[in-house]
Amino acid sequence: MIELKGVRKRYRGRYVLNGLSFTAEKGNITCLIGMNGAGKSTVMKAIMGLVPVKEGQILVNGKPRGRWIYEKISFVPDHLTMPLSMKMSEGLTFMADFYASWNAERAAELMRFFRLEPGEKIGNLSKGTAAKYNLVLGLAPNSDYVLMDEPFSGIDLFSREMIADVFSSDLIEERGVLLTTHEIGEVEHLIDKAVILQNGKAEMEFDCETMRSEEGKSIVDVMREVYSR
Amino acid sequence: MRTGGGWEEVEFNSREPVYLQVVRHFKEMIVAGRLEAGQVIPSRRELGTLLKINPNTAQRSYKEMEERKLIVTEGNSPSRITQDDAVLRAIRAELLGEAVDAFVSAVRKVDVPVEELLDLVKSKYIEALSSSPADVAAEGGAERP
C-alpha cells in the first residue's frame, strides 16, 4: 500500500498540497482526479521523491519512502525522459542497466502489445507512440506499483483505447496502479477507486462500484457535486 | 478460445455497478441462446480482456454468478453455465418480466385499448423476427476446439 498522511507542499507561496491523505492498494487501480493545477503531478513527484516534502508522511508498504522504493514503484511521467537519439530497443537496454527489477520478457510483450517498432528512433516518435513507449518503460519492471501521470492526455482516440486496454490485460497483473487524469471518460469503468483532489486535499475517496450500487452515482456525478460545493 | 459473438457490444452504464451489468449480459446471452447450458465460459482473465473491464470486476461478476448458481466451477476445471433447468427458466422469466414491465410502463402513457395494443405488438414483433431471424441462430452455440 502507498499511503499519504497529511502531506503539505508549498510552491511559490501557496500550499499546492494542504493536508493530503489517501491510500492506493496493491491489486487495485486508483485514480487521482483533479482539475488542471490541482496538484496531481505534484503528488506523483512527492511519492517518487522528485520534490521534497517536509510536512506529512509518505509510506510504502508501511515504511517511510527512501531510495529502495525505486525497485518497488515505477513512474510513468507525462513525457518521455529518454535520450532522443536512442532507438526504442536501445532505450530498453538502457533501462535494464538501471533497474534490477527490469523484466525483459515483459518489455518485449509490451512492445508487441502496442505494436511498436524497436528500430525506430525515440526522437522521431509521434505523441501517441511516445505515450505507448513510455508505458512500456513503466510496466516492464517487476514493480509492485505503477504511477502514471495523465497517460491519456493529448493523444488520439485509438491510442487512448489501446492504452485503456492495458488495464484489463494481464500486463498489470496483481500490481497497484495509481493514475492521474482530468478526464475520467476512458477509465470510468476500469478503475477500482477514485480520489478527488481539490484545494490540496482529498475531498472524496471512494470505491467506484460501492458508489454505484449504494448511491447510483457515476464518478462524474460525484465530481460534479464536489466541484459545485 | 472461441467464445462466439456478443462480447464486443457491451456498453456500460456509468451509474450501475459494472459487475451487475456483466451478470446481466450473461443472462441475456443465455436467454438468447448464445450461451448454452453447460457451455464453458471464458476465464476471469479472458473476460476482463473481452469486456475491457478490470480483473477485480470480472472476479466479482463470477463470484456473484456462482452465488446465484448461474455458473458452476468444479475444482480446477473452467467455469460453465449451469445445467439446472429451474435456474435457466428463472432467468428467462426474470428478463422477460423486466422487459414487459418496462414496455407496460412506457405504453401506459398512451390511452389505448388492450386489443389494439396486442394487435400492434403482434404485428411489430412478427416484423422484427422476420427482419433479423438469423440473430440468434447464427451466433448461438459457438463451436469450440
Short-list A78, A75, A123, CA closest to A99: A75
CA dihedral B79→B85→B91→B93, nearest 10 degrees, is 170
Contacts with A221 from chain B: Cβ below 8 Å: 15
Count Cβ–Cβ pairs < 8 Å, chain A vs chain B.
54
Contact indicator for B44, B55 with CB cutoff of 8 Å: yes
Is B52 close to A168, i.e. CB distance below 8 A? yes
A168: nearest CB among B14, B17, B48: B48
Residue A98 Cα, gap to closest chain B Cα (Å) = 31
CA gyration radius, chain B? 17
Q: What is the pLDDT of residue B139?
A: 45
Q: Please, where are the H alpha helices in B32-144? A: 44-51, 55-67, 85-107, 114-131, 134-139
Contact indicator for B50, B9 with CB cutoff of 8 Å: no
**C-alpha to C-alpha distance for B54 and A144, rounded to whole angstroms:** 17
Q: What angle do CA A107, A93, A49 make, to 5 degrees?
A: 80
Q: Which three cell numbers stand for residue A151?
A: 497517460
Contact indicator for B3, B42 with CB cutoff of 8 Å: yes
Q: Is the dihedral of CA A178, A179, A183, A186 positive or negative?
A: negative
Is B15 close to A170, i.e. CB distance below 8 A? no
**C-alpha to C-alpha distance for A71 and B110, rounded to whole angstroms:** 66
Phi/psi of residue B143, nearest 5 degrees: -75, 150
A164: nearest CB among B16, B19, B52: B52
Per-residue pLDDT of chain A (229 residues; tens, 9 = 90+): 999 999 999 988 899 999 999 999 999 999 999 988 889 999 999 999 999 998 999 999 999 999 999 999 999 999 999 999 999 999 999 999 999 999 999 999 999 999 999 999 999 999 999 999 999 999 999 999 999 999 988 888 898 989 989 998 888 878 999 999 887 877 899 999 999 999 999 999 999 999 999 999 999 999 999 988 8
**C-alpha to C-alpha distance for B81 and B107, rounded to whole angstroms:** 35
B15: nearest CB among A28, A169, A216: A216
Q: Give SS3 for B70.
A: coil
Residue A32 Cα, gap to closest chain B Cα (Å) = 17
Is A216 close to B16, i.e. CB distance below 8 A? yes
Q: Give SS3 for A178.
A: strand
Is A220 close to B14, i.e. CB distance below 8 A? yes
Is B15 close to A212, i.e. CB distance below 8 A? yes
Phi/psi of residue B80, nearest 5 degrees: -130, 160
HSE-CB of A136 using CA atoms within 13 angstroms: 31
Is the interface score ipTM higher than 0.90?
no
Short-list A204, A158, A211, CA closest to A188: A211
**C-alpha to C-alpha distance for A47 and A146, rounded to whole angstroms:** 11
Q: Is B17 on the interface with A (CB under 8 A)?
A: yes
Q: What is the pLDDT of residue B4?
A: 55
Q: Report residues of chain B scoring pLDDT below 50.
A: 1-3, 136-145
Q: Which three cell numbers stand for residue A134?
A: 513510455
Q: What is the pLDDT of residue B74?
A: 86
Q: Give SS3 for A76.
A: strand
A28: nearest CB among B18, B53, B56: B56
Contacts with B51 from chain A: Cβ below 8 Å: 168
Q: Which three cell numbers stand for residue B43?
A: 476465464
Q: Which residue of chain A comes nearest to B60, CA vs CA?
A: A209
Query: In chain B, which among 68-97 make CB contacts under 8 A with chain A?
Result: none
**C-alpha to C-alpha distance for A43 and A90, rounded to whole angstroms:** 30
User: From the DSSP assignment, how many helices (H) and strands (E) are in chain B?
Assistant: 6, 2
Q: Give SS3 for A104.
A: helix
Q: What is the pLDDT of residue B135?
A: 52
Helix (H) or strand (E) holding A77: none
CA gyration radius, chain A? 17
